Amino acid sequence: MEKGLDRRELLKAVPAALAVGATGGAGAARGQAPAIVGTRRAGGARPVVVASGNGHQFRDGGARTAVEETFARLVAGEDPLAAAVAGVAINERDPDDTSVGYGGLPNAEGVVQLDAAVMHGGSGRAGAVACLEGVRTPAAVAQAVADRTDHHLLVGSGAQAFARQLGFRVEDDLNTETSRQRWLEWKRRIDPEHWLDPERQAAAAERARREMLAAGRLDPEHAWGTIHLSVLSPAGVLAGVTTTSGLAWKIPGRVGDSPILGAGVYVDGEVAAAGSTGRGEANLVGLSSFLLVEEIRRGAHPKDAGIEALRRIRARTRERRLLTPEGEPAFNVHFYAVDRAGRTAGVSLWQEYAGRPSRYAVCDEDGARLQATEGLLERPA
């Protein structure tokens, strides 16, 4: 993996770039080191980026990960939402990240359908797309929904037509060889005749997913997909974006939590930005990102607010098919948050899931790094 920017490189940048402003101006060019000295503006905050773990894993052949790119743009004065969308675009374009964008794991018919949502804490703007096909960067389309329309959510062919009208490239197929082969392997593990019995087919699909996880053929974090990224700019402006290819081999048309405001992402410009990855259905019913921000409004630390959201998911999960033999949720959910004070948190339902510890990404004036999430539960038995 290509080495990211280290602190010495960051220190070489020109602090005067901060004079560009917090709500406009061109972003730093790819490969240009961001300034991290004196990043606090008068009356402002130290900028910070918090994201799911894949936010500091993939580079799409460039020098920076999503959190590094976003941070570089923040300290150069770029609008925080534009910076966040540019950051997650690295993952959306990178074929090695099979959880989002190009090469994201497809639905049950082998079609890549993408969801994304954005929120801007300064202006209150928000936009989302769901079941979008053919466009590698759905977060940018979601931003266009926020900026150019009076709507919050466009779906399916309407979302694609909107993207085409704005000049986004629309491709026939966003599968890569990897995503297609994973789908074909999944198909081989189930009997197509189960489509005649939806309950049996759903059980077979979930069993095949778990078999592939156990066999190391599917990344446990990519079974549900998604990257979330929340930011606090030097001027104290919050923004958030979540983008995903959704549940691997989902029923065509399935929409999870990612493009739903209050579920996959929520930003209150006076309080905090938060978002989620993991099992979307568990997050949707409680609008957990909204709940998390409201807990921070009441005075909770972002970590404690996230743990409370996870406790509610745990208590709400009652269906036998969704539980381990010990009666705990048989899936994982993660939350990531930053508040106006610059306090960050990454929390997860399970600290370790499918044999892998849960981590999240942070980038601030000390550089980019991966940190362990705070888990409500330790690990499934």
Q: Which residues are catalytic?
A: 226
Q: Give the three-state DSSP class for 3.
A: coil
Distances (CA, A) of 340 to 151, 247, 334: 27, 32, 21
The residue whose two tokens read 């568990």 is 282
Residues 329 and 316: beta-carbon distance below 8 Å: no
- Tokens for 231? 């930011």
Q: Bridge-partner residues for 350, per DSSP? A: 377
Residues 134 and 159: beta-carbon distance below 8 Å: no
Give the DSSP H/E element, type plus range, for residue 126: strand 126-132
Residues 175 and 103: beta-carbon distance below 8 Å: yes
Cα dihedral 44, 264, 352, 181 sign: negative
Residues 225 and 248: beta-carbon distance below 8 Å: yes
Q: Give the three-state DSSP class for 353.
A: strand
Residues 62 and 30: beta-carbon distance below 8 Å: yes
CA distance 162 to 174: 18
Q: Give the three-state DSSP class for 303.
A: helix
Distances (CA, A) of 33 to 79, 243, 367: 18, 26, 11
Q: Bridge-partner residues for 375, per DSSP? A: 348
Full DSSP string of 37-98:
TT-PPTT----EEEEEGGGGT--TTSS--HHHHHHHHHHTT--HHHHHHHHHHHHHH-TT-T
Angle at 30 between CA 26 and CA 236, to 5 degrees: 50
Residues 251 and 110: beta-carbon distance below 8 Å: no
CA distance 207 to 203: 6
